Structure 1
Amino acid sequence: MQVSCAFPTSLSSPDDIALAEELGYDRAWVYDTPQQSPDVWMTLALAAERTTRIGLGPGVLVPSLRHPMVNAAGTATLAALAPGRVAVSFGTGFTGRRAMGYGAITWRFMDAYIRTYRALLRGEVVEWEGARMRMMHPDGHSPARPIDVPVLIGALGPKGDAVARELGDGLYATLQTPEFMTEYSWVAYLAWGTVLDDAEPAGSDRIRAAGGPGWALAYHGAYEFGGPDAVRGLPGGDAWMDAVERTPERERHLAVHSGHCVELNDADRAAWDAGGHVLLDQATISGTRDGVRRTLDDLAARGVTEIVYQPCGPDPRRELERFLDAARTAAPA
């Protein structure tokens, strides 16, 4: 299993990626979440200048946020800056759209978008929104077409699986582990968590800062995919919903996704303090070094070929070092 990392795109991400390369991570992915992050392509370009080996890519691009020509040009630029190191992934927009009040894009749109994007990188003339176009970059403005980069697709259900099989080079998964993962040769799985010291209490301030943002996704996801009743069925879920429902309904998505993957928001803190932290080891890859290693072995058995770990909290070096050590240590028999 490859061991990669991810970062919720921030001004420190280029330096964080350089650190990940120093430590030995295989690839670094950064999120396409413009409502809370700097531009993903600018960030990756800076990371390319500060690194020489580590793989780089957006994980995941949300098609509706940019014209396919814009993402094709961004991909071409990064491929020129980091030749042989680029991979790209696409998703329907869990945070990149829902945090702005939209639903996920349809798989029909995703199919059309990725077909157009890949054809542009091959140098073909495409039709988009009723107009014919192609990449026309002169020498020195882009690598020569065709530009070949692997494309992963964030698919969890049958429609996404069908698109990934036809148009993708692998899967980019998170929160769920669909059974069809075993049928792909490349499965990147995004996860959160923290490696605990022996006898470290699960509700400590350090664990809340390092493991909490990933743990909170259990509540964010339950709300988006199952509604308020699904959240109230979780430990601390009533406290979480009570906090969210203090925001007017038309702006409730702002309360849900505030701090997403970075820090706990008001609802998250309420749920944690109400006992929700007992879900930490179920919602994230958290535990002792040996426990984390066993979880990774289980994910590998279910088809994961690349674990993508996002560190959280005030000490990313500590989190990256400890996770990589656990991932590359043989699990006890």
Structure 2
Amino acid sequence: MRISCVLAPTLLSPEHIAVAERLGYERAWLFDTPQQSPDVWMTLGRAAELTGTIGLGPGVLVPSLRHPMSAAAATATLASRAPGRVAVAFGTGFTGRSAMGQKGLPWSAVAAYVRAYRGLIRGETVTWDGAPIKMLTSPDRLDRAAADVPILISALGPRGEQVTKDLDVDGIMSFGQVPAGMKDFTWGSLFIGGTVLEGDEPVDADRVKETAGPAWSIAYHVGMEFMGGLDAVRTMPGGEAWAARIEKTPEPERHFAVHDGHLMRLNEADEAAWNAGGHAMLKDVTLTGSPAEIRERVAAYAEQGVTELGFQPCGAQIERELEKFMEAVG
């Protein structure tokens, strides 16, 4: 299994990616979350300047955030700066759309976008918005620079898995859970956050909350968006406290309360759930444990078809988290 890292972009992410390269991580993925992070492409471009071997890519791009030509040009630019190191992934928009009050895109829209984008980076003429478009020849040869860049689709569920197969892309990606059909793909990437516990460190320790809490809190965000809303969340440990905080925000702006700090830090509702006992499910929903426990989980992921594990570090000591996780998995 290849060990990669995934980061919610900050202005320090390029330096963190350079650390990941030195530690032996295969690839560094960055979220496309413009509502709370620096631009994913500019951040990856800076990382390309600071590194020489580690793979780089956005994971995942949200089609509605940019025209397919813009995405193709950005990919070609990065591929020119980091030849042979770039991969891209696309998804329906959790949370790149959810955090802005929009539902995820239908799979038909994602498929149409990926087909157009793939055609563009291969130098083909495609139809978009009723007109033929293509990347024109330029002095920098950007029209062919990204022709061989691998494409993955972030999918969890039968519809997404089928679209991934129909598109015949290079692989499938998921966050937190292994898709049932991951073994059907040669490249199966799982993103998951957590932390390596130190000795008899309890799961409710402040350090653990800071580093693994953001990944843990996604259980509530997913429950709100996909599993039945507040009623579903209330059935979870700490869910009543989480829902009570969310209900204080008027519905038109409730998505702010849900997704504030998404995968970067705990927001007010997440803090309330943690303090109400929600931390009890930390090991169930994140990759948190002793080095031996983490190795056991990683081996189980491999049995389920995961070929790339993207570990997400959080907190103020990203370098420490990257180092301790790589030591744990060997």
TM-score tier, shorter chain, comes to over 0.9
How far did 1:145 drift?
Answer: 5.9
- Aligned pairs for 1:96-115 (under 5 A) are 96-115=96-115
Q: Which moved more, 1:166-175 or 1:81-90?
A: 166-175
> Could you tell me which residue of structure 1 aligns to residue 264 of structure 2?
262
For 2:71 and 2:39, the matched residues in 1 are separated by: 12
> Could you tell me which residue of structure 2 aligns to residue 9 of structure 1?
9
Q: Root-mean-square deviation (CA), in Å?
A: 1.1
> Could you tell me which residue of structure 2 aligns to residue 193 of structure 1?
194
> Could you tell me which residue of structure 2 aligns to residue 287 of structure 1?
289
How far did 1:326 drift?
Answer: 1.3
> Could you tell me which residue of structure 1 aligns to residue 64 of structure 2?
64
How far did 1:176 drift?
Answer: 2.3
Give SS of 1:70's match.
Answer: helix
For 1:137 and 1:35, the matched residues in 2 are separated by: 33
Aligned to 1:297, which of 291, 296, 299?
299
Contact 1:68–1:113, Cα closer than 8 Å, also in 2: yes
1:242 aligns with 2:244: yes
> Could you tell me which residue of structure 2 aligns to residue 331 of structure 1?
none
Aligned pairs, number: 328
Amino acid at match of 1:290: A
Change (3 A) 1:291 1:146: closer
> Could you tell me which residue of structure 1 aligns to residue 221 of structure 2?
220
Deviations along 1:111-168, one digit per CA (max 9) or x if unpaired, are: 1100000011111111101111100141225263671110000111222112211321
Contact 2:177–2:190, Cα closer than 8 Å, also in 1: no
For 1:88 and 1:137, the matched residues in 2 are separated by: 22
For 2:230 and 2:215, the matched residues in 1 are separated by: 19
Moved over 6 A (4+): none
- Aligned pairs for 1:14-33 (under 5 A) are 14-33=14-33
> Could you tell me which residue of structure 1 aligns to residue 253 of structure 2?
251
Give SS of 2:51's match.
Answer: coil
Aligned to 1:321, which of 320, 323, 330?
323
Deviations along 1:195-252, one digit per CA (max 9) or x if unpaired, are: 0011111111101101110110011111111211110001110000000110001100
How far did 1:70 drift?
Answer: 0.4
For 1:185 and 1:12, the matched residues in 2 are separated by: 32
For 1:145 and 1:175, the matched residues in 2 are separated by: 33
For 2:157 and 2:202, the matched residues in 1 are separated by: 37
For 2:157 and 2:212, the matched residues in 1 are separated by: 27
> Could you tell me which residue of structure 2 aligns to residue 160 of structure 1?
160
Change (3 A) 1:137 1:40: farther
Give SS of 1:115's match.
Answer: helix
> Could you tell me which residue of structure 2 aligns to residue 207 of structure 1?
208
For 1:318 and 1:148, the matched residues in 2 are separated by: 34
Percent of residue pairs identical: 53
Contact 2:219–2:285, Cα closer than 8 Å, also in 1: yes
Amino acid at match of 1:12: L
Deviations along 1:90-126, one digit per CA (max 9) or x if unpaired, are: 0111110000000000110011100000011111111
In the alignment, structure 1 segments of 5+ residues that lack a partner are: 329-333
